[in-house]
Amino acid sequence: MIKVLLADEAPVVRHGLRRLLCNDTTLRVVGEASQAHETVEMTRTHLPDVVLMDLQIGPKSCPPATSQLMALAKPPRVIVMTTFGRQEDLRQALMDGAAGCLPKNLSAMELIRAVRGVAAGHTVLSPSATLQLVTGAHTGKEISREESQKLTMLSNRQRSMLVLMAAGWRNTEIADLLGVSVSTVKSHVARMMGKLELDNRVQAAVLAHRAGLMDPEPMDAWRLTSASRSRTA
């Protein structure tokens, strides 16, 4: 059973999310919060596996709430939900440890699939959220000296993994492109994440964009190459 906590200042939104989640008997809503501090306290009490939280809940925006949740002894997996979130708030929430970001107009099937995926350790990021991150990456804060030093520690292969991950490539696609096994890709990704001291692929993608490592033209060429290999295999 996956325990879920709903956090949104609007009762109608919480009610709607609860109704959608009730379509799956493996999910159980253990509580509802309307403010950031309530979210943290209820998480301590109910120990949910996943917290569905509005990006700008209550009087404080989501980033500090996300950070507080991640600091708990048993931190939950956090999905921030938004309609028109600010780019900086979204990037900060993800860097603080949120497992993903979703729009509020999801279908029941999409929401349930996302909650299950996050509970299993995956990250979820809607296309609109990805677009916000990419378009706003170069207008955000510059990477720190410490982050820059960590990037220099990556091998050429690990750097390639970082760039491909940030472009949205799955492990299977990366393995096909580089001609290696999926387990080899996972091993390189794990070592890369360890060197960068990051918790998930979303944080890695944000860092790659902020560091200016992305170049759309090579990304498109590599994807076409991979697609061509798949068709001829």
User: What is the set of domains in the chain, with CATH numbers?
Assistant: 2-137 (3.40.50.2300), 143-232 (1.10.10.10)
Tell me how far apart the alpha carbons of residues 60 and 58 are, in angstroms, rounded to a whole number.
5
Lookup: tokens for 199: 């918790």
Kindly tell me the sign of the dihedral angle through the C-alpha atoms of 178, 184, 185, 188. negative
Residue owning tokens 């999409």: 110
pLDDT at 226: 43
pLDDT at 131: 54
pLDDT at 162: 86
pTM over 0.85: no
Q: Which residues of the chain have pLDDT under 70?
A: 58-63, 84-88, 126-142, 168, 214-233
pLDDT at 86: 58
pLDDT at 28: 96
pLDDT at 98: 85
Residue owning tokens 């009610």: 15
Those residues whose C-beta lies under 8 Å from the C-beta of residue 182, and which sit 6 or more positions away, are 171, 172, 175
pLDDT at 203: 78
User: Taking each helix axis from N to C terminus, what angle separates 62-70 and 36-46, rounded to the nearest 10 degrees?
Assistant: 20
Lookup: tokens for 207: 């860092």
